Amino acid sequence: MTTKVHKTVEVDVPVTTVYNQWTQFEEFPHFMGGVEKVTQLTDASLEWEAQIAGVKRKWKARIVEQVPDTRVGWAATEGATNAGTVEFRDLGAGRTEVSLTLEFEPEGAVEKAGDTLGIVERQAESDLKKFKEFIEDEGYETGAWRGTIGAGGTATGAVQDPAAGSTGLGTDPGLGGTTRL
């Protein structure tokens, strides 16, 4: 049985800054409860380690779609079954709407009970609020990847690191550099 969660938050930061920060996946443990570590393997693949409802989980995910300032979509390829999208909408006046849709399949009695109690839904809402606080408190992104990932997981585009003020073409910014997907 698949569960679907949809949560939205408004952020008092421009859409480009919000999107750029969201693409810094290795920073997710700073604002996502239960996420212990995210490792960027390639432009389009990530490895996650988390503790959800007291259960340690590890999985790999592939970014299936990424459009700057608009959308990031992913799907698990190994481990925990989950997929989702986060969409960014410019509200004008330096405000952005962030909408998260998450689909997952609870495994085992503990996760199924947690799902029934709405734990993942509450966690998603809490994580979006923490992201809002994180980016509003910072006021700027810690890095950026402005490339596009389309059907088939093919990445194209420019890599940018606002802190260093550099722009260049890259195929794997997540390995060995300060700029990550």
Exposure string for 17-27, b = 16+ CB within 10 A, e = fewer = bbbbbbbbbbb
Q: Which domains does the chain have, with CATH numbers?
A: 3-166 (3.30.530.20)
Confidence (pLDDT) at 171: 32
Confidence (pLDDT) at 180: 31
Better-scored residue on pLDDT, 176 or 61 = 61
* 151-160: average pLDDT: 58
Confidence (pLDDT) at 168: 30
Confidence (pLDDT) at 178: 28
Q: Provide the residue type at 137 as one letter.
A: D
Write out pLDDT tens, residues 131-140. Answer: 999 999 988 8
Q: How far apart are CA 103 and CA 81, in angstroms?
A: 8
* 19-26: average pLDDT: 95
Assessment of whether the complete model's pTM goes beyond 0.85? no
105 — pLDDT class (breaks 50, 70, 90): confident
Write out pLDDT tens, residues 43-86. Answer: 999 999 998 767 788 999 999 999 999 999 999 999 888 899 99
In whole numbers, what is the pLDDT of the chain averaged over residues? 82
